[in-house]
Chains A and B, each alone.
Chain A
Amino acid sequence: DAGVIQSPRHEVTEMGQEVTLRCKPISGHNSLFWYRQTMMRGLELLIYFNNNVPIDDSGMPEDRFSAKMPNASFSTLKIQPSEPRDSAVYFCASSFGLAGAADTQYFGPGTRLTVL
C-alpha cells in the first residue's frame, strides 16, 4: 500500500501566483481531508469529501481557496491568488469514511508551501 500521496512536497511561489496542491488517497478509501498546519493556528481542517462530495468546507479560509475531487483517486486544493499568509504545510488525509465508527485517518507527507 503506497499510502496517501501528495505532490509537490515543496512549493515556493510568489505572491499573486496560482498554486495547486494534489492528493491521491489510499485506494478503497471513501473520505478525503485537507488540513493546514501553521505555528500560529496549529492543525486545522479546511475541507473534507465523502464519496467525492464536499461535506464540510467551513474551514476554507476565503474565496481564494477551492478544492475539488473529480474522482475517487484524485483531489486538488487550489489557491488563487496566493498570499504570504498562506505559507504553511498542507496535509491530505484519507479514511474509509465509516459512519459511527472510530475510523482512522491516514495522512500524507504534506506539502510545504512558501509564498514570497
Chain B
Amino acid sequence: AQTVTQSQPEMSVQEAETVTLSCTYDTSESDYYLFWYKQPPSRQMILVIRQEAYKQQNATENRFSVNFQKAAKSFSLKISDSQLGDAAMYFCAYRRDQGGSEKLVFGKGTKLTVNP
C-alpha cells in the first residue's frame, strides 16, 4: 500500500521569506500523481499544486513550486515570498495512475505559521 510521510509537524517562516515543506512517499508504481493541498483555519481543502510523475519538469504555480525527485520519492513544496494568508495546514497527497483508481492518500500534514 502506498504511504505518504510528512516529517515536519510544524514549520514557521517570516513574512516575505521562503519556506520548504517536505514530503516523501512509498510506492512500487511508476505512474502516479502528487498533490499539495492547503487547509486554512476555515477547514476548506484547497488544491495548491500537482505534479504528474511522468513529467521531469517541476510544477510551478505563482509563488508555489515543487521539487520532485522521483528516484528519491520526494516531493517538497517551496513557498516564496510568504504571506500571512499562507498560514495553514499543508497536506501532501498521492494518487496512483494504474487501474483507474481515484483514491487520494494523504500525509499527516504540516502546520505552517507565518510571522509578521
A contacts, CB < 8 Å to B: 31, 33, 42-45, 48, 50, 55-56, 89, 91, 93, 95, 97, 99-100, 102-107, 109-110, 112
B contacts, CB < 8 Å to A: 33, 37, 42-47, 50, 52, 91, 95, 97, 100-109
What is the bound-complex CA distance between A44 and B1, given in angstroms? 14
Task: Flag if A100 contacts B100 (CB, 8 Å).
Answer: yes
Task: Flag if B102 contacts A109 (CB, 8 Å).
Answer: no
User: Which residues in B have their C-beta under 8 angstroms from that of A106?
Assistant: 47
Residue from A50, A97, A102 within 8 A of B52 (CB atoms) = A102
With contacts A102-B52, A104-B50 taken as known, whether A56 is within 8 angstroms of B43 at the C-beta atoms is no
Task: Flag if B106 contacts A56 (CB, 8 Å).
Answer: no
Task: Flag if A44 contacts B106 (CB, 8 Å).
Answer: yes
Residue from A42, A95, A110, A112 within 8 A of B102 (CB atoms) = A95
Task: Flag if B106 contacts A42 (CB, 8 Å).
Answer: yes
User: Which residues in B have their C-beta under 8 angstroms from that of A33?
Assistant: 102, 104
With contacts A42-B108, A102-B33, A102-B50 taken as known, whether A109 is within 8 angstroms of B44 at the C-beta atoms is yes
Task: Flag if A50 contacts B45 (CB, 8 Å).
Answer: no
What is the bound-complex CA distance between A110 and B89, given in angstroms? 15
A-B contact pairs, 18 of them (CB 8 A): A33-B102, A42-B107, A43-B106, A44-B106, A45-B103, A45-B105, A50-B102, A56-B101, A56-B103, A89-B43, A95-B102, A97-B102, A99-B100, A102-B50, A107-B46, A109-B42, A109-B44, A112-B43
User: Which residues in A have their C-beta under 8 angstroms from that of B107?
Assistant: 42
With contacts A102-B50, A104-B50 taken as known, whether A109 is within 8 angstroms of B43 at the C-beta atoms is yes
With contacts A43-B91, A56-B101, A99-B100 taken as known, whether A104 is within 8 angstroms of B47 at the C-beta atoms is yes
User: Which residues in A have their C-beta under 8 angstroms from that of B43?
Assistant: 89, 109-110, 112
Closest 8 CB pairs of A and B: A107-B45, A43-B106, A99-B100, A42-B108, A102-B33, A110-B43, A45-B103, A102-B50
What is the bound-complex CA distance between A26 and B28, given in angstroms? 33
